[in-house]
Amino acid sequence: MPIGVNKVVTIHYTLKDEDGNLLDSTIGAQPFSFLSGHDQIIPKLEEEIDPMLIGTKKTIFLQAEEAYGLHNEQLVQVISKNDFPEDLEIKVGMQFVTNAPDGSQMPFTIAAIDDDNVTIDFNHPLAGKNLEFDIHLIDVRDATPEEIAHGHVHGPNSYH
């Protein structure tokens, strides 16, 4: 029976790139919980978790297109180093957030620094990467009405 929507799904996961490099893991830490059907994880990943049974494990391979998308060169820009605060020492790999004209937040990463020019990349850091998730489904429970209304999981005793 599928997990369905409006469930709190708790998993342990290990995320690797296609070369087997460890990118992230909850092993040895708190498991990760999400509210199913609320776009809180990659849609294809949620689709693959949906038929799992509590206690089972599964390895899920996602192509870049199914994960964070292909790398889009139109999302890479070169700006002046003067656009950053004078006292800030910027380095390649640093991440920042800026506001779009509509007020939404747009994260970006410093991709390169060349004299007075800084290349910034608005792609997700994992865009263009094929990913491997090792999933262990720990628990599934009905979401509370408050969690559904808020659109996210609350901790023990409805804490969030």
pLDDT at 159 over 60: no
pLDDT at 16: 98
pLDDT at 133: 98
Collect all residues with Cβ–Cβ distance below 8 Å to 103 and sequence separation of at least 6. none
Average pLDDT of span 105-115: 95
Mean pLDDT of the chain: 94
37 three-state secondary structure: coil
pLDDT at 100 over 50: yes
Average pLDDT of span 85-96: 94
Phi-psi region of 76 (alpha: psi -120 to 50; beta: other; left: phi over 0): beta
Average pLDDT of span 107-127: 96
pLDDT digits (tens, 9 = 90+) for 119-142: 999 999 999 999 999 999 999 999
Q: Could you tell me where in the chain the CATH 2.40.10.330 domains are found?
A: 73-121
Collect all residues with Cβ–Cβ distance below 8 Å to 17 and sequence separation of at least 6. 23, 129, 130, 131, 132
Sheet order of strands, 95-99 included: 76-80, 117-121, 105-114, 95-99
pLDDT at 160 over 80: no
Total-model pTM: 0.84
Between 159 and 132, residue with greater pLDDT: 132
Q: What is the Cβ-side half-sphere exposure of residue 69, based on CA atoms within 13 angstroms?
A: 8
pLDDT at 157: 47
- Count how many residues are written for the chain: 160
SS3 content of the chain, % helix, strand, coil (to 5): 15, 40, 45
CATH 3.40.50.10210 correct for 7-68+127-158:
no
E-assigned strand segments in 43-104: 57-62, 76-80, 95-99
CATH number of 73-121: 2.40.10.330
Q: Could you tell me where in the chain the CATH 3.10.50.40 domains are found?
A: 7-68+127-158
Whole-number percent of the chain with pLDDT over 70: 97
pLDDT at 158: 47
pLDDT at 156: 62
Q: How far is CA 105 from CA 75, 101, 111, in A?
A: 15, 9, 19
